[in-house]
Amino acid sequence: MTRTVRPFLRAVWSEGTKLPSLPATRRVLLAAALLAAVLRVRQPAGAIAPDVGGYVLLQVLTAAAGALSVTSEYATGMMRLSMVAVPRRGLLLAAKAVVCAAACFAIGAVSGPAGGLYLALAGLAGVATGFLARSATAAWVLLVGAAVGDALLVRLLPDRPARAASRFSPTAAGDRFLDGRHAQSMPSPWAGAGLLAAVAVIALVSAFVVSHHREH
C-alpha cells in the first residue's frame, strides 16, 4: 500500500503546485472565485440555497478549469514530463482530479457545502473531459454541448416525457441538489447529488480507459 500512497501524495503535491502556474486554468479559476463571491454577497440573508442560475455558469467555469488543467499540458508538451514523473496513468489522473476538485470545492463552499460539492463534481467531470479530448477547443465543445444539450432536451420534450427525463437529467439533478427542497414525485436532493457523482465517476473511468488504451 505504501508503494501506492507515497507516489500518489507526491503526485498530488506536484499537481497542487503546478495548477496555479497554468495561466489559462488560473484565469478561469479566478473568474469562478470572483463570480462565487458576487453570488454570495447577493444571496439574501437567511437563504439556504445558493443562486441556482449563477451556479450553472460556475459549473461551466469550474468544469472548464478542470479540462484546461489537462489540455494546457498537452498543448505545451508538459504532459510528457508529467507522465515521466508519474508513469502510472491512474495515479496521474487521480492526482489531477483531487487537486482540481479541492480547488473547485473551495470556490463553491463560500455559499455552503452543497455549492462546494456541486462545483467539485463539475471540476472532476472537466478533468475527465480534458483527458478524453486532449484539446481545449474540443473540451469546451463537449462541456458546453453536454450542459446545453441536456437542458434543451428536457425543455423540448412533451410534458410527460420531459418529467420522466428530468428525473435522470444531470442538470436537473444539480438544480435539485442546490435548491435543497424535495419536490413531490421527484428524486431527493441527495439522489441528485448521487446522480452527479455517478456521472463524474463514469467520466473519470472512461478517461482512464481511453488514456490507458492510447499508451498501448
pLDDT digits 0-9 by tens, 51-72: 666 778 888 899 999 999 999 9
Which three cell numbers, joined as nine digits, stand for 136?
Answer: 481545449
User: Is the confidence at residue 215, as pLDDT, over 80?
Assistant: no
CB 154 within 8 A of CB 173: no
CB 195 within 8 A of CB 186: no
Closest CA to 107 of 183, 26, 170, 173: 26
Q: How do residues 106-132 score in pLDDT, each as one tens digit?
A: 998 887 788 889 899 999 999 999 999
Mean pLDDT (the chain, rounded): 83
The C-alpha angle 184, 121, 137, rounded to 5 degrees, equals 120
Q: Which residues contact 149 (CB under 8 A, 6 or more apart)?
A: none
Q: What is the pTM of this model?
A: 0.86
Q: What's the length of the chain?
A: 216
Tell me the C-alpha distance between 111 and 8, whole Å.
30
The C-alpha angle 128, 131, 137, rounded to 5 degrees, equals 100
